[in-house]
Structure 1
Amino acid sequence: MSPAPEQGARAVVGAVLCVLATWASLLALTGLVAGSRWVAVACVSVLVVAAAAALTRAATRRWWAPTAVGGAVALVGLVLRYGAPPGRPQFLPDLDAVGRAWATARQGVVVVNESFVPMPDVRPGEMLLVVGALAVYLLLDAAVLALRFPAVGGLPLLALWIPAIVLGFPAGAAPMFWTAAAYLALLAYGAAPLHAQAGRTQRIGTAATAAVALAGTSMIAGPPLMDAPGWASVALPTFGDGPVGPLELSDDLDLRESLGTRSAQVVLTYRVSDPSRPTDPATDDAAAEDTGAATADPSATPTAAPTPAVDARLVGPLRAFTMSTFDGRLWERTDNEALEVWDPASLLASDPNLLGTSPDPAAGTLAQVDLVVGALRERRLPVSTFPRTLAVDGQWGYDALRDEVVGQRSTGDGLTYSMLVQVPRLTAEDLEATGVGTPTDAEQYTALPATEHAEEIAALTAELTADADNPYEQALDLQTWLRSAANFTYDTRVPPARSTDAVWDFLEDRRGYCVQFATAMAMMARTLEIPSRIGVGFLPGERTQDDTYVVTGRLAHAWPELYFDGLGWVRFEPTPASQSGPPPVWADPFTGISAPGSIPDEIGANQPGSLPSAAATAPSGALPTAVEEQSPWAAAAITTGLVLLVAGAALVVLLLVRRRRRRVMTPEDAWTALRRELARADVRWSDATSPRGVVRQVERSIGVRAGGELDGSAREALDRLARVVEQTRYAPSPADHSPEELDTWVHEIGDGVRAALARDGARTPATTA
């Protein structure tokens, strides 16, 4: 017996609720896709299809007709919009339009496979999102109005939420609230009687009581559930308390916890000025004219290097505190009780030769910095990493060991302080000419955690710095390797731990955020006996029209500092340039940088612009405005697959099968495919492992995890492939092998490894949250 569909005014109400629920669920994708055009197009498309389905439902009582007509309207609309010839509209679909629409969809798959979060709001990607939205609405409409089973409607709505949850880019509380409210409204709609006036008050009271009971139960049951083992592995932010309320930097930095959503509150505003610049406007103009005349005269002989512009680029990041104790996963901090009172006219510096001296224009460029604290609650005052004087009201002490200014109370909104920063003219030649120094309490800055991969990290460091002639060149080699986009990707999401060594996991995964980049360089430097620590603070901020720099919580950042003899702690920048800008001039292997700041030259000293955010991730290298937090993302195809699961499961399966069965052509292709295949079974090796070493490592992994061994045919295939790869790499005339043979070996090894693990009841090693 066919179901009786909804009719009349009740059907109209149900259709409206379905539209609203679909719109609310679309908001779940706002954290994955940039821009807002796609949202508007998807919402309008849903509304048009909903109207077509509603008109069909008013004209017929066949339960399947509205869904069929709505699907047809959706298909025609997609072809007309995305299959139209360039530059002119299409009013009637034809085969050419279908072909162009199909090509656009295929291009969309390429876009999502090659993009980073957030995916750009381009036409091919928009098409896939609109297809997913229409599919979700049609399924929801069929469940609620045709089959009259609203509870099932939660499944297509959930399909739009799964990508954000899986990839770790949730849209926030508001989209979740509106989606949940719309779904509850659909449930209430389905529970309401078809013909009812009697008992209305009782039903309203029952619904209200149930809602209050549900909210109360959630509040009571929430904390115990969060303490359950399954929830204990959820990574929470460590840099701040979220987008609402004041921010406090965390004293303990866990490499296995994502940065999460950091605060958008303004934590600092400041202005930078040149103390040597004349204050008299007439004198200032005359000086500018003299400078311009000297520049215009080609016969003029320069007597000195150009003076760098005094701005935030020169001053660099503002450091709140440093950390030196690392246990393989967690940075921990201990406070120093021996605080000193300082002279506001004398320099505070990590270099003992400068500590307590007066600012000297001959020793560096002087910059006056006047700061105002906003939504920052921090006991350590953010100051320049360079030597600086400091004038601040309140009870503050100076920690000379860590070069920190510590207060008895936290900073408050409106607190003002000023610095006269002495920016040294430090160059690569200065660092090459000196060796590592010995800081006070040096043991804590060279100590290495006793982790299971400590030897591998030391060996990798030695390999990377083999050609370096001095500690500076070693540090530069490490920084260059970590900053390379060919080696690493910036990403705030943290993959599950595979060992007790978080640094090794990061070096294997090749993706992470600033704390992981900074920690990796610091620990690798310690294997070379270079004292190191990490600094935690803020990138310079966004420049406004009135030359004020604005720092938000999203600019929280971490970087490594290395100790050199006679120079003190020197900052390096291993985090990719798209997040932190160029490295300091003394650590920049490239030429063409004229100022010792760390901010990109694209932002002119005299033009308002935004400085890079530690959380921004524009893959193209363009500097964002530090207003939206972005991070690079891999596996964007997962998002597309989940969104299109409802609308085009067959297409997704076809794409996955084609990718999985892509044939290999050379032994190196086969080796790469095998590495990717075994990684799915959590069997991995580093780039430095030889083919024969891989054979032993695979056998050892199976033995440790399963207590068994690889069966004969799979082991034989692994030995053959390893020998072939060795011959390809080292033999003068390696033997030829057909792609079919190589492909067979890869799949035989992969099947054998999975079978060995499954047969012996292997378990993936437990990970620590």
Structure 2
Amino acid sequence: MTAAPEQGARAVLGSVLCVLATWASLLALTGLVAGARWFAVAAVAVLVVAAATGLARAATRRWWAPTAVGGAVALVGLVLRYGAPPGRPQFLPDLDALGRAWATARQGVAVVNDSFVPMPDVRPGEMLLVVGAVAVYLLLDAAVLALRFPALGGIPLLALWVPAIVLGFPAGAAPVFWTAAAYLAILAYGAAPLHAHAGRLQRVVAAAVAAAALAGTSLLAGPPLMDAPGWASVALPTFGDGPVGPLELSDDLDLRESLGTRSAQVVLRYRVTDPNQPEESATDTEEGAEDDPVDTAAGTEADLAAATPTPDPTPAVDARLVGPLRAFTMATFDGRLWERAENDELELWEPATLLASDPRLLGTPPDPAAGTLAQVDIEVAALRERRLPVSTFPRTVVVDGEWGYDPLRDEVVGQRSTGDGLTYSMLVQVPALTSEDLEDTGVGTPADAELYTAVPDTEHRDRIAELAAEVTADAAGPYDQALELQTWLRSVANFTYDTRVPPARSSDAVWDFLEDRRGYCVQFATAMAMMARTLDIPSRIGVGFLPGERAQDGTYVVTGRLAHAWPELYFDGLGWVRFEPTPASQSGPPPAWADPFTGISAPGSIPDEIGANPPAALPSSVPTAPAVGPAVVPDEQSPWVTAAVTSGLVLVVVGGALVVLLLVRRRRRRVTTPEDAWTVLRRDLARADVRWSDATSPRGAVRQVHRTLLARTGAELDGSARQTLDRLARVVEQSRYAPTPAEHPADELDAWVQEVRDGVREALARGADRAPVTAG
């Protein structure tokens, strides 16, 4: 016989506990969805539905009635909120409103499918989250109050945690604590007798003793647990942090920390002009650029130049040319943590002479013949930093106050921190550095060379060195080695950009990153720097800010979200040279000298389309969402797939499961891309015993195919199959490097794979026919 549903004041208490438990479980999704509006809307929706179920429970003793009423109220509320005509509210649901709500949810499905974590906090996605929250509450309410089986309530609460667990984005300790506490409160509520006055003192004493025992155990067990490697990832983040108050970059970068909260505060504003251009012309140029819809953000012109060849050899004087603004460099790494020691021996300088790590340029006046000159005027906003953000290239610096120069680290260091309103200017000398210059250059010897070549003596040091050697096996010199490392790390087929740090598995954070294949800019930069050191290439990392977004008045705006780290390698006669191993979706294109795609156009692609609408360089210190496939359009233009909302009572319960399935599907979906085609080709050729390793770049794979065929048949791949293999390799490189690579239909990619596969098989067959027959 089924127990009678709860009634009276006890039912009210149970409803309150169910609401609090649902709110606590919603916190599990804070790591998956950006912003906080969705949480507020979902919390209010749960509260409204809870009030409806409570009123229904007070009016009837039928166990199913409150759930039915709550589901009906939720359905009506969803239709009225998400199905209202654009620009005005709707007070009564109708078929048109139902159709618009249907369309909104369909768009929410597209947002979930096309977003990277964290998903943007947009209205269509919010609708799915509200459906899931209401569904969880109704299931929990039915288990606790209707069926009086509180233990079952853990299942819907767990449903909200499944997406974060499956995708590897846990929300942190606080949501776990509050969810567990709410669930324990529900269990205690279900276990308490209907008349619980007897023995109250004994229960209070028992609860106090249990709480004291738990607290004591935590104090004793906490320190040794925190020393274990697996707990290192819960340390407080400092890199690029500062959502409240001024921002300060951390001197000690821990590879076991996540980036935590990213600051949207403006830290710098600056303007880049051509000192050789008259002021009036420069103004006209900026105004014309503002009218140009293509050039709307930092790096736009250079992104276009990086994706397509240009006949103009003179680079545009803009933020992309000046590059990131570096605050400081780091050289000492212990296997987990970058550390630095302050240098008290600072030098004064003449404002009209260059500051540079190259002794040949230090103290000399800017020379237009030695590179392109760019005037940069900067105003500091919410940045409190003792090191002045300056260009990585040689530059003059004019700034008020007590500032000194550290030539060893190439830093401008002040006695006090920067403050809001501080202004300074630079005349940057950008050398015309090309890949050809680096190909003919050997490794240099910087001052304190041992500092920049030291590799921490960890348990996986030799394995990191072996992996670096494997990745660069086809490289002809130090520049080619650096380029192979960068290409391998930037490949989305090899690594995933992720600000959440997986638990430590060893004492070597670099090896853990290379094993997990997930990390953020500090980890990508550190991995390349350490792997370069195993190849005897001096390296360090720079910390600063990406160029920023261009405002309407022509200035560039840098926020805390653009905090970034990158590796710098030392070459003879050229000094420290910047590379960019962090994936393009987060850091934008690499420097021109480190971009193998520079000057290459994939056959069949239209150069104008490649750069027709390039995005700004995205911050590497924050997870970002790509452009959602379908644009957010008026509700009338999209349909909906969530049958739970349209069918009402059957229902609402399915909402939580829908969110889980959609997020898992986003994780596992497989789209036909050049990377997919490359993977299929590699698998098919492996069946013919034509193989290459994970560390081989596309160009290296092409060479490996030719070498294998030459060894087995006496001839390389030829004809159209050879041209198609080269074409596919270039397209794969474009997909890895170009900010907006050309799109290729799936049929075209399949045809390329089939043509190369058939060509290799024919070559092998011809080689077998020509093989001499020997007597047995």
**What is the TM-score of this pair, normalised by structure 2?**
0.63
Conservation of the 8 A alpha-carbon contact between 1:573 and 1:584: yes
- Is 2:39 the partner of 1:32? no
Look up the SS of the partner of 1:276 in the other structure.
Answer: coil
Alignment of 1:88-237 (within 5 A): 116-119=116-119, 129-130=129-130, 132-142=132-142, 145-146=145-146, 160=160, 164=164, 227=223, 229-230=225-226, 233-235=231-233, 236=235, 237=237
Q: What residue is the counterpart of 2:773 in the other structure? A: none
CA displacement at 1:369 relative to structure 2 = 1.5
The aligned amino acid for 1:586 is W
1:561 paired to 2:568: yes
Q: Distance in 2 between matches of 1:177 and 1:72?
A: 32
Unaligned runs of 5+ in 1: 83-88, 196-206, 208-214, 290-303, 595-599, 624-642, 660-667, 673-685, 689-731, 734-769
CA-CA distance at 1:136 after TM superposition: 2.0
| CA shift in 2, pair 1:339/1:74, >3 Å | closer
Given that residues 442 and 478 in structure 2 are in contact (C-alpha distance below 8 angstroms), is that contact kept between their aligned partners in structure 1? yes
Q: Report deviation, 1:379.
A: 1.9
What are the residue-to-residue correspondences of 1:347-746 with 2, within 5 Å?
A: 347-592=354-599, 610-618=616-624, 620=626
Deviates more, 1:430-439 or 1:575-584: 430-439
Identify which of structures 1 and 2 has the higher relative contact order when contacts are C-alpha pairs closer than 8 Å and 6+ apart: 2
Tell me, in whole angstroms, the C-alpha distance in 1 between the residues paired with 2:561 and 2:505: 29
Structure 1 residues 310 and 172, CA gap change in structure 2 (3 angstroms): farther
Superposed CA RMSD: 5.6
Partner residue in 2 for 1:244:
244
After TM superposition, give the deviation of residue 648 of structure 1 in Å.
5.8
Q: Is the 8 A contact 2:241 2:260 kept in 1?
A: no
SS at match of 1:135: helix
Deviation at 1:443, TM superposition (A): 1.5
Distance 2:414 2:26 in 1: 47
Deviation sequence 1:390-415 (CA, Å, 0-9, x none): 11122221111111112222223332
**Do the aligned partners of 1:319 and 1:535 also contact (CA within 8 Å) in 2?**
yes
Q: Deviations over 1:687-734 (max 9, x none)?
A: 68xxxxxxxxxxxxxxxxxxxxxxxxxxxxxxxxxxxxxxxxxxx99x
Tell me which residue corresponds to 1:66.
Answer: 66
CA distance change for structure 1 residues 136 and 412 in 2, over 3 Å: closer, same or farther?
A: same
Alignment-derived partner of residue 253 in structure 1: 253
Report how far residue 587 of structure 1 moved: 0.8
Find the aligned partners of 1:413 and 1:442 in 2 and give their Cα distance: 37
CA deviation map 1:582-603 (0-9, x unaligned): 0001111113599xxxxx9677
In the alignment, residue 485 of structure 2 is paired with which amino acid?
Answer: L
CA contact (8 A) 1:353 1:566 kept: no
User: What SS does the corresponding residue of 2:456 show, helix, strand or coil?
Assistant: coil
**Do the aligned partners of residues 284 and 47 (structure 1) sit closer, same or farther apart at CA in structure 2, a change above 3 Å counting?**
closer
Q: Deviations over 1:39-70 (max 9, x none)?
A: 69856875775466345424422345423664
> 2:326, 2:389 within 8 Å by CA — same for their partners in 1?
yes
Q: Give CA-to-partner distance per residue, 1:334-372, whole Å, 9 cap, x none.
A: 222321111111000112211111011222221121222
- Alpha-carbon distance between aligned partners in 2 of 1:122 and 1:153, rounded to the nearest angstrom: 29
Partner-residue secondary structure (3-state), 1:419 = strand
Q: Give the whole-Å Cα distance in 2 for the aligned partners of 1:158 and 1:488.
A: 30
Q: Name 1:275's counterpart in structure 2.
A: 275
Give secondary structure in 1 for the equivalent of 2:133: helix
Q: Which amino acid aligns with 1:229?
A: L
Whether the 8 Å contact between 1:603 and 1:611 is mirrored in structure 2 is no
Q: Give, in angstroms, the shift of residue 515 of structure 1.
A: 1.1
Secondary structure at 2:489's aligned position in 1?
A: helix
- Find the residue that maps to 2:511 and give its secondary structure: helix
Q: Distance in 2 between matches of 1:13 and 1:452?
A: 56
Letter in 1 for 2:394: P
Contact 1:578 / 1:612 at 8 angstroms: preserved in 2?
yes
Aligned 8 A contact 1:277 1:284 in 2:
no
> Counterparts of 2:224 and 2:621 in 1: how far apart (Å)?
30
**Judging changes above 3 Å, is the alpha-carbon distance between structure 1 residues 395 and 165 closer, same or farther for their aligned structure 2 residues?**
farther
Name the residue aligned to 1:761. none
Q: Identify the residue that residue 724 of structure 1 maps to in structure 2.
A: none
Cα deviation 1:609-664 (Å, max 9, x = unaligned): 854111344465799xxxxxxxxxxxxxxxxxxx9999669x98xx99xx9xxxxx
Deviation, structure 1 residue 239: 0.6
User: Deviation per CA, 1:138-194, whole angstroms, max 9, x where unpaired?
Assistant: 244346654789999788557646755886757799999999999999999999999
Task: Give the counterpart of 1:312 among 280, 296, 319.
Answer: 319
Post-superposition offset of 1:240:
4.2
Structure 2: how far apart are the matches of 1:602 and 1:36?
34
Aligned residues: 602
The CA distance in 2 between the partners of 1:447 and 1:358, in whole Å, is 34
Partners of 1:41 and 1:262 lie apart in 2 by: 23
Match of 1:693 in 2: none
Q: Which amino acid is 2:553 matched to?
A: D
Contact 2:241 2:560 in 1 (8 A): no
1:342 corresponds, among 336, 340, 349, to: 349
* C-alpha contact 2:120 2:625 (8 A) present in aligned 1: no
SS of structure 2 residue aligned to 1:353: coil
The offset of 1:472, in angstroms, is 1.3
Q: Tell me how far 1:560 sits from its aligned partner.
A: 0.7
Distance 2:56 2:313 in 1: 76
Taking a change above 3 Å as real, the CA distance of residues 461 and 139 of structure 1, as seen in their structure-2 partners, is: same
CA distance in 2, matches of 1:352, 1:459: 35
Secondary structure at the aligned position of 1:516 is classed as helix
229-238 vs 525-534, which moves further:
229-238
* Structure 2 CA distance for aligned equivalents of residues 287 and 17 of structure 1: 59
Q: Report the secondary structure of 2:257's partner residue.
A: coil
Letter in 1 for 2:618: P
User: Cα distance 1:452–1:47, how it changes in 2: closer, same or farther (>3 A)?
Assistant: closer
Q: 1:42 to 1:385 in 2, by over 3 A?
A: same
Which runs of 5 or more residues in structure 2 are unaligned? Answer: 83-92, 196-203, 205-210, 289-310, 602-609, 630-651, 669-678, 684-692, 696-763, 766-776
Give the AA of the match of 1:314.
Answer: L
Answer yes or no: is the 8 Å Cα contact 2:255–2:337 preserved in 1.
yes
- Taking the aligned partners of 2:265 and 2:259, their CA distance within structure 1 comes to 16
* Paired letter, 2:366: P
The one-letter amino acid paired with 2:422 is L
The change in CA–CA distance for 1:288 and 1:55 in structure 2 (over 3 A counts) is closer
Farther-moved stretch of structure 1 (416-425 vs 216-225):
216-225
Q: 1:647 and 1:479 mapped to 2: Cα distance? A: 41
Contact kept? 1:432, 1:473, Cα under 8 Å: yes
Aligned-pair distance for 1:387? 0.4
